[in-house]
Structure 1
């Protein structure tokens, strides 16, 4: 009887100990989640508070004008917004097909002996600091574009409607197109790595069944692999887009940092993050500083909208998959 009582007492103590540890773990994780929300709220509040003088001075004109003159204290965010959106769109248009192609090659076509070296090389590209990309872009990539690619584009599209405006003007080397290509190079490793990882989650039975009924590799990828992993692929694409929207140093080196909008992709421009990085340390006066903080708030809003749209897309895909 005493032995049975001691065992019951031991079990009761163990149950209480487990209940306490479980409650502590739950409260700890809950506190971490709340802390993240508090930090996010603090960042948003600081940006809003700092940008109020700029919005009071310029109103909606801050979003619709491209004048940026610190001497006369006239500021407009249209040129940085335009540069941010255009460079990100062009970069993703290049990086997504290339990254997914690399992932498909690694998972479906690459010889086993080469998968690990190529995969490691892609992951190393993702780990290179952005300033290294910027230095390489300024001293190696931009001169190459100036001498070879940009004159070719100007000549070949000189008589093509629309494209003759997109590829017009002198070949500076630096500009919107150069920044977009640098961003694409930086985003490709993210899209390729995440796509490869989610492609590896496809059950081999599904692919073997498709091959068994005579499907080609392309048909297996299109009809089995991509539909099965589309949620993960979209998540990877959105992660790359977030990187492209917020990239600072690499873009600052090669975009030209001109606060103006040009129809030509070869012309210099600027982005929100590049403008902040270039001018924040030189900002003199409350209105100048507030305008730069307002640019940060706009970038935050753009990123939030993009992530919200991505989340809605993922939810719809999950609902469709459930049906």
Structure 2
């Protein structure tokens, strides 16, 4: 009986065939063009950001020369009287952003984990499309919904929080009596809390998309290894997916915070502007840097416009610092380190 043995194909010959199919010169040229385009795009973004900062600094020089360090500590906004500062609006901006992130983070994290780990394959595509569509809803739509519908339905929750958590200064409401059943609920409207919830619904789809994309890239081998060792689905997520996607969680959260800090129309339509440091998030009256600019832009004098540019410069620098810190933290995670060029 004769046995025929087929010799394996020589690897060098296979590599030569591959090299003949893709000319080396063409591959190098394509890679060089792509690398140059990517670097050029990054350089253009940096130049644009630099020009924005230079423009704001130039326009704000006049106001900053008058206000000096009082610009950061003065709560009033009377630029024509040379009494103005961003202490009040900066406090409101930070509080609205923190409320939004505090609500958006668990919503985005839970939704991203369900879509990437639990949802059936047929339902997953539908959920991804719905989340992406929510991110495309205009800000003014959220503002109208929050001002004319949501605000009237959440004041009860605000009153409940003020009743049982007023011992925390953040949830205290001046001039309210929780034991008075006839007290009007207007003291809880147009607050930082309501504006933060509406902004949270706006930033949740963005944060969710970033987290979901990172979770889906968790190594399949580590997933299968955890399950093969007897881990439950949640145990695998806790030991593999979440540690790997830590950079995406931070990146998505900070991206949402950046939009929350700069949100204008929705906040402007909901809040009742006050120019005083307002640390009580449930109480009527709030403000933010972007809402201040929208409120005073049309009636500002030349010097007042310079003061508004100074406020915009402060917001610009704050968002840059937040994003820089977030990128530094995300780069130390496995998913962030994997994307380093």
TM-score interval for Structure 1 and Structure 2 normalised by the shorter chain = 0.7 to 0.9
Aligned to 2:300: 283
* Distance change (3 Å), C-alpha of 1:199 and 1:214: same
Instruction: Classify the secondary structure of the residue corresponding to 2:252.
Output: helix
Aligned to 2:121: 112
Q: Relative to structure 2, which stretch is displaced further, 32-41 or 183-192?
A: 32-41
Q: Relative to structure 2, which stretch is displaced further, 212-221 or 30-39?
A: 30-39
Q: Relative to structure 2, which stretch is displaced further, 64-73 or 185-194?
A: 64-73
CA contact (8 A) 2:170 2:279 kept: no
Kindly report which structure 2 residues correspond to 1:157-306, keeping only aligned pairs within 5 A, or say none: 157-158=165-166, 160-162=167-169, 165=172, 169=176, 171-265=187-281, 266-284=283-301, 286-306=302-322
CA contact (8 A) 1:154 1:167 kept: no
CA contact (8 A) 1:48 1:294 kept: yes
CA contact (8 A) 1:150 1:171 kept: no
Q: Deviations over 1:197-230 (max 9, x none)?
A: 1111123332222122222222211111011122
Q: Which of the numbers 155, 174, 199 marks the counterpart of 2:163? A: 155
CA contact (8 A) 1:73 1:287 kept: no
Aligned to 2:60: 51
Q: Residue 166 of structure 1: CA displacement?
A: 6.0
Q: Which of the numbers 120, 124, 139 marks the counterpart of 1:130? A: 139
CA RMSD of aligned residues (A): 2.8
Q: Residue 168 of structure 1: CA displacement?
A: 6.8
TM-score (ref. length: structure 2): 0.81
Q: Deviations over 1:78-120 (max 9, x none)?
A: 1111111111111111111111111111122223332222222
Structure-2 separation of matches of 1:131 and 1:313: 33
Say whether 1:317 aligns with 2:324: no
Q: Relative to structure 2, which stretch is displaced further, 228-237 or 26-35?
A: 26-35
CA contact (8 A) 1:153 1:167 kept: no
Which structure is higher in helix share?
1
* Distance change (3 Å), C-alpha of 1:167 and 1:91: farther
Structure-2 separation of matches of 1:21 and 1:206: 34
Instruction: Classify the secondary structure of the residue corresponding to 2:213.
Output: helix
Q: Deviations over 1:284-306 (max 9, x none)?
A: 2x321111000010001101111
Aligned residues: 307
TM-score (ref. length: structure 1): 0.85
Structure-2 separation of matches of 1:241 and 1:219: 29
Q: Which runs of 5+ in 2 are unaligned?
A: 1-22, 177-185
Q: Deviations over 1:220-243 (max 9, x none)?
A: 111110111222222222211111
* Distance change (3 Å), C-alpha of 1:165 and 1:16: closer
Instruction: Classify the secondary structure of the residue corresponding to 2:272.
Output: coil
Q: Which runs of 5+ in 1 are unaligned?
A: 1-13
* Distance change (3 Å), C-alpha of 1:118 and 1:43: same
* Distance change (3 Å), C-alpha of 1:221 and 1:69: same
* Distance change (3 Å), C-alpha of 1:163 and 1:73: closer
* Distance change (3 Å), C-alpha of 1:320 and 1:179: closer
Aligned to 2:81: 72
Structure-1 separation of matches of 2:120 and 2:26: 52
CA contact (8 A) 1:195 1:236 kept: yes
